[in-house]
Amino acid sequence: MTEGNFVDYVKMFACSGNGGKGSVHLHREKFITKGGPDGGDGGRGGHIIVRGCDNLWTLHHLKFKRHFRAGHGGSGSKSRSTGSDGEDVYVDVPLGSVVRDSDSNEILFEITENNEEVILCEGGKGGLGNWHFRSSTNQTPRYAQPGLPMDEKFVTIELKVLADVGLVGFPNAGKSTLLSVVSSAKPKIADYEFTTLKPNLGIVEYRDYQSFVMADIPGIIEGAAEGKGLGHYFLRHIERNSILLFLIPADADDIKKQYDILLDELRRYNPEMLDKDRIIAVSKSDMLDDELKAELIEELDAELPIDYVFISSLAQLGIVELKDRLWAMLNP
């Protein structure tokens, strides 16, 4: 998927259908010239239904179709015949989509499971026919209910990427390179900051035809929780990852300090992120000789509160061990 095709934020207009009106009809047939009321009910208006689809990874299919209107309910007719229901309209979204009211910014619901369906705009109820209004004192009512009107709203759909492992790190830490090595994803790779502007997803193949999903999130900078850099635009994508893989290059001035800064940005954005399982991958470790690596291991053992592994995406060092560690964390 190219970067331009990754759409994680759309606004759209949804409008359900009107309910059909009830029928005012009096029964007439041969030899029965003054039958009672037999007007049928109107059909309900069509719903706008948001449905989860695990075959979708982005909101790109909604980029150019942003108006959805359901069908109107049919009117009732004679012989107590109910009008046809309006046609429902389904809006398929990827798992991890959050639907908000555009006016109030209130979260209406979230879609997290395949084929999960939530009615966004409920169709109007059909009106009752005159058959319902007969009584001993009013045996031929000549009135019926109109259908209830449609519901309409402007909503915003934003995607929070659902992935097993989320790559967290400063810009240019090697996240895209790692994703390209462990999966068949083809993210943009270059030697400058913010090469990645949209999340990239890759399926990492493991032993015995098993796999898990890894997400390359655009780089964090200090102050991201306040919106600096790409700010909130990408931090929300980390919320739905099961494991956070912190990627810190071996040539960093202070690995522990970089880890603390990254962790603090996540905490300030959403403290619940600290409840996720975490592991550190020290990237670009092919630059270390045995002596430097031994010194760094001694230092990290004393300072880091979580597990870590040395890797090199270019030299293919530690990749298998990293996959083993991640798989063990995903399947305790």
pLDDT (tens place) for every residue of the chain, 332 residues total: 444 456 778 999 999 999 999 999 888 888 777 778 999 999 999 999 999 998 887 888 888 888 999 999 999 998 889 999 999 999 999 888 999 999 998 999 999 899 999 999 999 999 999 988 988 888 889 899 999 999 999 999 988 777 788 888 887 777 778 888 887 655 444 443 444 455 677 778 888 888 888 887 776 655 544 444 444 556 777 777 888 889 888 888 888 888 888 888 888 878 888 888 899 988 888 888 888 888 888 888 888 888 888 988 888 888 899 889 999 988 87
For residues 87-104, one letter each, b for 16 or more C-beta atoms within 10 angstroms of the residue's C-beta and e for the rest, the string is: ebbebbbbbbbbbbeeee
All structural domains of the chain, each given as residue ranges with its CATH number in brackets, are 3-159 (2.70.210.12), 163-330 (3.40.50.300)
Q: What is the pTM of this model?
A: 0.70
Distance CA 16, CA 199 (A): 33
Distance CA 255, CA 259 (A): 6
The closest alpha carbon to 94, from 237, 227, 212, 209, belongs to 237
Q: Is 173:248 a contact under the CB 8 Å cutoff?
A: yes
